[in-house]
Structure 1
Amino acid sequence: MAGPRIACIGVIGKADNPLHISLFPPYTDSSIEFSFLLNSCLDIFEIRCKQTSVDQDLGLLHAIDERLAAYGWLTTTGVKLLIIVDSYGQEEASTGKQARGAVNALRDSDMKPAFCALQSAYIQLLQNPFYSPDDHVPVPGNKAASVSACQPISNQRFIADVKRIGETWAPGSSA
């Protein structure tokens, strides 16, 4: 199916520490690039929190280029959900065709089902009695050292849910 597809889903802790990053084809070998892109979105979250009364759905954070666009969602606990969309989609990427104006054609409301599904998966993770969110929070003090020492989310059900959301989402669908 042609059209926009999710390239990356990131779950970022309230201390701006990465909790989970999933990459989707054809970007599965681009972890450093997408880590940088997700990190750059954190500044936009901070600016919007200072300037407005932030709603959960932040919509389009920024169009990275004519192909990739970042969308954001802020949970009530301060966890940031980020989705980077490839506006050309997988088939266009493999054939080299380019959809013109595809980033502009995607509405913020097209992302809401994916964010709601992602937030539901995260809530189910928090309800798991064997999951300890404290394992994923940096220790106060040396922020650089503590953020890198945080454990990413390793719960297989959560990872499978994120993968399903990323693989099945399409504009106008419910994730």
Structure 2
Amino acid sequence: MAGRSPAIACIGVIGRKNNPLHISLFPPGKRPALEFSFLLSSCLDIFEARMPYRTAEQDFGLLQAVDERLAMYGWVTSTGVKFVIVVDMEGGATPSTGKNPGAVGLRDADLKPAFRALQTAYIGLLRNPFYDPDQHSVLPNKSEQSFESSQITSEKFISEVRRIGEKWAPGVTSL
């Protein structure tokens, strides 16, 4: 019998104006995207409440446990962009060792390599001379009374986020 190990269920990138810039689900198509969009929005108040006590870029650690299965962890860059990783505590199968190890715990430090890799990918995106981070802020549409928010469309960034989400596991030290 194979045990279960925590796995990333969702990675979200939220702009400094609290607008969603990117959401990746793992595995793609298995989970409802709208549910994770709501979950990402629910953690914004937690970021705001903790923000006065933080300086520069910070690992916010566990933001909230959604239920016994899902937990949300956060990181804020020095520019105010937020990375959120939703972990499914029963997410992936681990090879059987003949023993049933039960639930595998997760420490905040286990996610640091994933957050650092996400930050590196985002810095790479910012270094692209054709990428304008202000293009992704929520601006009123002058022709209508609605707001527009554009998503990050860089294939390189999206594939790097996908790689991080698929390769991460507890105990991985670099991605």
TM-score band w.r.t. shorter chain: 0.7 to 0.9
1:116, distance to aligned residue in structure 2 (A): 0.1
Distance in 1 between residues matched to 2:15 and 2:102, nearest whole Å = 35
Aligned to 1:154: 153
The 3-state SS of whatever aligns with 1:89 is: strand
TM-score (norm 2): 0.85
Q: Secondary structure at the match of 1:128?
A: coil
Q: What RMSD, in angstroms, separates the aligned Cα atoms of the two structures? A: 2.4
Structure 2 match to 1:8: 10
CA contact 1:7–1:27 (8 Å) conserved in 2: no
Residue identity in the other structure for 1:64: V
Could you say which residue in structure 2 is the equivalent of 1:110? Answer: 110
Report 1:10-159 matches (<5 A). Answer: 10-25=12-27, 28-50=30-52, 52-54=53-55, 56-91=58-93, 102=104, 105-139=105-139, 145-146=146-147, 149-159=148-158
Equivalents in 1 of 2:83, 2:167: separation in Å?
17
Equivalent residue letter for 2:24: S
| The structure with more helix, counted as a fraction of residues | 1
Query: Which entry has the higher C-alpha Rg, 1 or 2?
Result: 2
Q: Which structure features the higher share of strand residues?
A: 2
State the TM-score, normalizing by the size of structure 1: 0.85
Deviations 1:27-79 (A, max 9, x none): 644100000000001110001013x2356100000111110000000000000
Identity of aligned residues (%): 57
Structure 1: 4+ residue segments shifted above 6 A: none
**Counterparts in 2 of 1:5 and 1:41: CA distance versus 1, 3 Å:** same
Structure 1 residues without counterparts, runs of 5 or longer: 93-98
Q: Report if aligned partners of 2:69, 2:90 keep a CA contact under 8 Å in 1.
A: yes
User: Amino acid of the residue matched to residue 113 of structure 1?
Assistant: P
The 3-state SS of whatever aligns with 1:171 is coil
